[in-house]
């Protein structure tokens, strides 16, 4: 698994690269591999689209009341997106993460119409 390299780290390495190679601490090939990883980690990746669902559907998925869902939102356990002045929606993945965190089950809720 490749770990993203920060731009600050890249700039620091860029400043020391010739010194590291000339001192024999790092081989040029290793440095080239590092630059390739750094370049790859800086590529912009498209964000995954949010699947927003209503409070009613979220509460139904969790098997709790909307009032208890509101308590979870206020407590910071589940995040929400405010749409307009009054409406809120919840990301389906956030609901899945909450279920996984609190039950240990790796469960992503199935999309569909709320009844």
Each residue's pLDDT tens digit, 82-94? 888 889 999 998 8
Question: Is the domain of 75 the same as that of 94?
Answer: yes
- Asked if residue 46 belongs to a domain, the reply is no
Question: Is the domain of 57 the same as that of 35?
Answer: no
3-state SS of the chain is CCCCCCHHHHHHHHHHHHHHHHCCCCCHHHHHHHHHHHHHHCCCCCCCCCCEECHHHHHHHHCCCHHHHHHHHHCCCCCCEEECCCEEEEEHHHHHHHHHHHHCCCCCCCCCCCC
Question: Is the domain of 59 the same as that of 99?
Answer: yes
Q: Tell me what the mean pLDDT of segment 70-78 comes to.
A: 93
Question: Is the domain of 25 the same as that of 58?
Answer: no
Could you read off the pLDDT of 25-59 as tens digits, one per residue? 777 787 777 777 777 766 656 677 888 999 999 99
Domain that residue 66 falls in:
52-103
The larger pLDDT score, comparing residue 6 to residue 22, is at: 22
The larger pLDDT score, comparing residue 113 to residue 62, is at: 62
Question: Is the domain of 37 the same as that of 56?
Answer: no
Q: pTM score, two decimals?
A: 0.52
């Amino acid at each position: 698994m490749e770990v993203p390299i920060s731009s600050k780290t890249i700039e620091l390495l860029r400043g020391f690269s010739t010194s590291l190679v000339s001192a024999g601490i790092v081989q040029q090939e290793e440095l080239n591999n590092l630059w390739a990883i750094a370049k790859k980690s800086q590529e912009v990746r498209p964000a995954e689209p949010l699947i927003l669902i209503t409070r009613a559907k979220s509460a139904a998925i969790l098997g709790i009341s909307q009032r208890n869902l509101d308590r979870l939102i206020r407590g910071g356990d589940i995040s929400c997106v405010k749409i307009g002045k009054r409406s809120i929606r919840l990301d389906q993945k956030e609901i899945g993460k909450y279920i996984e965190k609190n039950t240990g089950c790796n469960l992503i809720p199935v999309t569909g119409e709320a009844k």
